[in-house]
Amino acid sequence: MSGRFDGKIAWVSGASSGIGRGAAERLAAEGATVVLLGRDEARLAEAAATCGPTAVTGAFDVASEADVEAHVPGLLAEHGAPDIVVHAAGITVVGALDALTPTEWHHQMDVNLTSLYLLNRHLWPAMVPRGGSIVTLGSTASFAAFPQDAAYVASKGAILALTKAMALDGGPHGIRVNAVCPGFILTPNLQGYFDAQDDPAGAAAGAGAAAPLGRMGSPEDIAGAIAFLASDDASFVTGTSLLVDGGLLAKVPA
């Protein structure tokens, strides 16, 4: 790799698996010191082991105000302010709006959306003196809805709007904020969505065939896009979204 993140510190939430882990590995491979955040301490340690000897972990729930308040200030003091932040923590709570309990609704919003607020209450002020890049994780669901997926779609639409608002606030401080919007990416989260369908195998096959490129994406596909937006190659890019969906939204459904 080019080493374009040499000397940079990257914080990645949702880093124990899927897109978050892929992003952490890519940024580390290009020279960043990575701070991996996630709830599962054992899986987080496994991910950190693939990110080199400088990688560190913070095992706590980024959707919990108490956990964030208890852990993030200490991590900042010990490991330093971020040059790059990747908000990859996310879940999918399946169901039409009327079928969701209040607990399910709030859980979806807390993990996918409120976690950005909670982390940025600490990370943003640390970035203001130095600038940097923040990458959020939207979705094709930020632009087009899926049936029986109301809370997830709402959370991803909100992430896109929040990304634009943060970009406006960050501009004067040299903080760029952009969203990567994946299509069907084969991760444990997507597999959970398939498993909740009446025909999981058929749902997975349909997802693979839906994009013009004829396959589902991988975490590595998304990691490349995240690395671009985090890098100086995107120094004049902020407040925008990058679809990485194999062309899924480029075609009218048959």
Q: Which long-range contacts (CB under 8 A, 24 or more apart) does 159-166 make?
A: 159/112, 159/113, 159/116, 160/241, 162/113, 162/116, 162/136, 163/136, 163/138, 163/239, 163/241, 164/239, 166/120, 166/134
152 part of the active site: yes
The enclosing H or E element of 74 equals helix 65-79
The enclosing H or E element of 85 equals strand 84-87
Identify the residue whose tokens are 């749902």. 203
Q: Is 14 exposed, middle or buried (0-12, 13-18, 19+ CB in 10 A)?
A: buried
In 3D space, the residue among 83, 69, 102, 117 whose CA is nearest the CA of residue 11 turns out to be 83
Residue among 11, 152, 184, 194 flagged as catalytic: 152
Strands (E), 101-174: 132-137
Rounded Cα gap, residues 248 and 128, in angstroms: 36
In 3D space, the residue among 74, 7, 88, 81 whose CA is nearest the CA of residue 44 turns out to be 88
Q: Which residues are catalytic?
A: 152
